Amino acid sequence: MITMHRARRPAGDLIEAIVDNMRANLEELRYTTIAPSRYTVYVSPAEYARLEGILPRLQSETVRALNEELERHNRRGRIRKAVGPLLGRSRPPLENPDAVWHVEFLPDLDDELKHEQDIVVHSELVLPAAPELGAGERTRRVTTRRSQRTTMTAQTIEPASATPVVYGHLVYEDRTGPHRYEIVLESTTIGRGGTMYPVSVRVMTSDDVSREHARIRRAADTGDVFLIDLSTHGTTVNGRAVPKGFDEDGTGKRENGAEARLPPRARIGLADTVFMDFERL
């Protein structure tokens, strides 16, 4: 008996998809060119199960490939600079502004991928706002989807205005380290994010935290600040559970208006996994 095995994609294709995404999301400044430092790769649950045992090796080889691409870019730049102006202006050297690469592979638990062999690479190029503006980070997100053909979408999230009003901040720590986020928007969504889930504050952690986990809302008329729970595993404020901010029916989630008022200082818990210290200014 001959058993036919369906052709499967080499794991190295995921590394190539990440490097392609990096090339598509470079930002050339005057003296440097910077690359995204954060990459989240979504694969089907079946593909994730197949790769789970080699994920540490896959991450380390991805970091190696990103470093090699950085060096390749800079080597071409040095050659162009040495040869002279006949070849045109040399590109500024390429850098990773975060010093280290953050690469995470996750299963697609929300059925965003149509086929088992699809890959979605979600990258973030983060530029801190000018200190005098007091705004949150400016982030450009590029998503690359590989299936029968490759597609790319880009989104740039800017501060609300040139001189935004900061009414609070969040301090927290996730897998990538400590963070401080200045809150300037009337509606600020917190969660793991994803291809179809753009969030204001993206938390790199386990899938106990929902892609859209909670939302901070500021009432324009009174200035009061509220927290809305949008999660599967719950949200707490100072250790007390926040009522669910949605109801579920056959068509999906529908927000029900439930929310909790945030005191001037509060500790927000996301599924008892990540904790954020909120302070109202």
In tens, the pLDDT along 194-231 reads 766 778 898 989 889 998 999 999 998 899 999 999 99
Maximum distance among all Cα pairs of the chain, rounded to whole angstroms: 75
pLDDT at 140: 66
Tokens at residue 63, please?
């970091």
φ, ψ at 73 (rounded to 5°): -60, -45
C-alpha–C-alpha distance, residues 101 and 206, integer Å: 18
Statement: residue 151 has pLDDT above 60: no
pLDDT at 196: 67
- pTM for the model stands at 0.58
Where residue 263 falls among pLDDT bands split at 50, 70, 90? very high
Q: What is the DSSP secondary-structure string of 10-29?
A: -THHHHHHHHHHHHHT-EE-
User: What domains appear along the chain, each with residue ranges and CATH number?
Assistant: 1-158 (3.30.2320), 165-281 (2.60.200.20)
Q: Please, are residues 226 and 254 in contact by the beta-carbon 8 Å criterion? A: no
pLDDT of residue 134: 42
pLDDT of 1 reads 40
Distance, CA of 214 to CA of 126 (rounded, Å): 22
Per the model's pLDDT, the better-predicted residue between 173 and 118 turns out to be 173
Asked if the model's pLDDT at residue 3 lies above 50, the reply is no
Q: Which is higher by pLDDT, 7 or 271?
A: 271
Q: Render pLDDT for 93-126 as a digit per residue (tens, 0 to 9).
A: 999 887 789 898 888 876 677 777 888 888 888 6
Element (H or E) spanning 48, and its range?
Answer: helix 45-51
Q: What is the pLDDT of residue 227?
A: 97
> So what's the pLDDT on residue 163?
54
